[in-house]
Amino acid sequence: MSSQITLDFITAVRNTVAFNLAAIDQVVAEAQLQTDATAELRAKAFALFYAGFYEQAKPILNALVAIDPVERNIVKLAQTELRLGNFDRAIAIAGSAIRADPGSFPAWEVIATAQLGLGRYSDAVDAANRALAIKPDARRPATIKAAVEKLPVAARAVASGGELSASPLLNLLIAPTDSSLSHILADSLLAKTMSQAEV
């Protein structure tokens, strides 16, 4: 699929959602009555998610999980809560995916990122380690671990009058893209922050 087709699709979703929220509510209500509509429902929810319409995707994903509680749908709902900044909710939902499948890499990745967002650094590293045990070459969990391991250096910089915000790093880690660009930017931001902290 060419990038122009992808951009056109996202633009079409964005334009449609802007004036069609009532239709989304109707789709959710209908989906609760029909189990054969799960594929269409999933397509709509995931399209909204990937277009960045998390609030609009959330009720559809909730309905989808209610009628088809498979890991893929549960994790997408957890990722939606993560993007919305609902870290505790993201952890709870991802935890249900892990109870069903302890080897769910994306669920452990959501938990690691959400724990970082809540400032629960030890828990973030534990979840990142679980994710890395499943997928050793994953960048996001490795970046989370590196960020937490550098916290003592950053704390010294803050104590000596420097400034540190985890917000830019966290925003990159929860970026909706699965491309390596956000991870490269997160790694770069982490390296820059740590080099400034060591001075």
The answer on pLDDT for 189 being more than 70 is no
Give, in degrees to the nearest 5, the angle at Cα 81 between 76 and 87.
125
**Mean pLDDT, the chain, whole residue set:** 73
The answer on pLDDT for 18 being more than 70 is no
The answer on pLDDT for 33 being more than 60 is no
Would you give the DSSP letter of residue 177? -
At 79-107, the pLDDT tens digits run 999 999 999 999 999 999 999 899 999 99
State which of 90-99, 107-116, 117-126 shows the largest mean pLDDT. Answer: 90-99
Residue 17 CA to residue 106 CA, distance in Å, equals 27
Cβ–Cβ under 8 Å, residues 56 and 85: no
Residue that wins the pLDDT comparison between 80 and 44: 80
Q: What was the pLDDT predicted at 124?
A: 87
Contacts of 190 (CB under 8 A, 6+ apart): 143, 146, 147, 150, 169
Contacts of 175 (CB under 8 A, 6+ apart): 182
Residue 159's Cβ-side half-sphere holds a number of Cα atoms within 13 Å equal to 7
Instruction: State the average pLDDT over residues 151-173.
Output: 51
Residue 142 CA to residue 26 CA, distance in Å, equals 41
pTM for the predicted model, two decimal places: 0.65
Contacts of 129 (CB under 8 A, 6+ apart): 141, 145
Q: What was the pLDDT predicted at 90?
A: 96
